[in-house]
Chains A and B, each alone.
Chain A
Amino acid sequence: MEDLSFRHPVRARAGGARRSAIVGVVASGNLEVLVERVLPDAECAVEIKTAAVGFGEVWSAVIGDFVERYSPGGLKFSINDGGARPDTVSLRLAQAVRLIAENGQ
């Protein structure tokens, strides 16, 4: 296992009112993303525990593009990864943002 952690300044606060949301499952080639609205509006953090060791650079690129594109201000993402491919990671992150942007608790 490898732990990775990223912090990014963000342009704008993520939309919606939900406090937290979760998408995905931990399985081979899959991951879960827990997103929580716990940070200041101009910050975003991503914490990763991954079964695939040695892919820090790829994660960095994936997270960088994701933050750029979705501006998830105020959100902390916690990821348990079963060795998912980068496109799956991008998709789950986007799904997490969509879910937390829905109305609800």
Chain B
Amino acid sequence: MTAPLKDVAPAERARSTSFYEASARTRLELLLDAGSLIEFIGPGQREVSPHLKIFDLPEQFDDGIVVGHGRLDGSPVFVAAQEGRFMGGAFGEVHGAKLTGLLRAAREIGTVPVLVLFDTGGVRLQEANAGELAIAEIMRAVMEARSAGVKVIGLIGGRSGCYGGGGLIAGCCSALAVSEPGRIAVSGPEVIETNRGVEEFDSRDRALVWRTMGGKHRRLLGAADVFADDNVQDFREAALELLGLVGPFGLDRLKAEQDRLAGRLRSFGACGDAIDIWTAEGIADAQAVPELPADQFIALANRIGRTSRDAR
């Protein structure tokens, strides 16, 4: 047998591991300080969805989400990571309740931040009512935790993106980091196409999908404050950066967000495409944005300077 092909330091492994590709567990393992994750209701507890069997569908022992406690640069954090490959990372009853419980504990403690690694298509169809309600409960729990002083950071860069109710939860977070393959939206491309026709949205035009919903557009719009390159180490650094930036939540933030969003509608409400928005933001060669490498894009986004800091 040959020796293991890779035997490298954790940071190097995290740097060489695509966040997009990695499983929820691998993301957490490499995002947090080595060996620090303590999982709550792990797969050994076999708390599976009680509803999938109605549809003769396979269950997953953790119902598609890992929640727990870990350390980031030595400081305690709560974490939740969705597995985008199981049922598209969708919210079901058990899946959602795990995140709700975590956020409620964070609110009671008040000082330990929460990192949510989104990777979700939204509500799990087979338990739609339970999933929808779970999302409503999570949104409320996020806001109550933030009101109690907790920083809730969303990290978005998974295969399933952050769609449906996941997009609304992300909108409730204190701050977001997003990578290029990450997408944030409510309706998915196929849903829009099915309901409104291919003229409204061609879901197979992936360049269109990404420039409408993808990480670069969300960053340029100021919806996400940090752009991460697609590796776990970059997301780790993004999380640390955001934890340093986020201030306390209050009514002023909501008023600022109202102004921020209303301003966005005034500035870009008539734009038909992301290219028009980027051009209106003052980007000379807007067409080239999707092709920009991460470092150049980050420099560009910082120059444009649109952010939701203190306004969400």
Contact = CB atoms under 8 A, between A and B. Distances in A.
A44 interface: no
Range for the number of chain A residues in contact with chain B? 10 to 19
A1 interface: yes
B249 to A, nearest CB: 34
B57 A104 contact: no
Given A26-B59, A32-B43, 7 more contacts: A25-B23, A25-B60, A25-B85, A27-B86, A34-B43, A34-B44, A81-B58
A25 B83 contact: yes
B253 interface: no
14 contacts: A1-B57, A22-B42, A22-B43, A22-B62, A25-B23, A25-B85, A26-B86, A27-B86, A32-B60, A34-B61, A49-B58, A49-B59, A80-B60, A82-B58
B306 interface: no
Contacts, number: 44
A51 interface: yes
B58 to A, nearest CB: 5
B61 A27 contact: no
Contact of B53 (A1, A26, A34): A1
A27 B53 contact: no
Given A32-B60, A49-B58, A49-B59, A22 B53 contact: no
| Chain A residues touching B, majority SS | strand
B25 interface: yes
A32 B35 contact: no
A45 to B, nearest CB: 15
Range for the number of chain B residues in contact with chain A? 10 to 19
Nearest to A25: B85
Contacts of A104: 35
B285 interface: no
Contacts of B59: 26, 49, 80
Nearest to B53: A1
B291 interface: no
Contacts of A20: 44
Nearest to A31: B58
Given A1-B53, A22-B25, A36-B44, A30 B58 contact: no
B56 interface: yes
Interface in A18-64: 20, 22, 25-27, 30, 32, 34, 36, 49-51
A11 B59 CA distance: 32
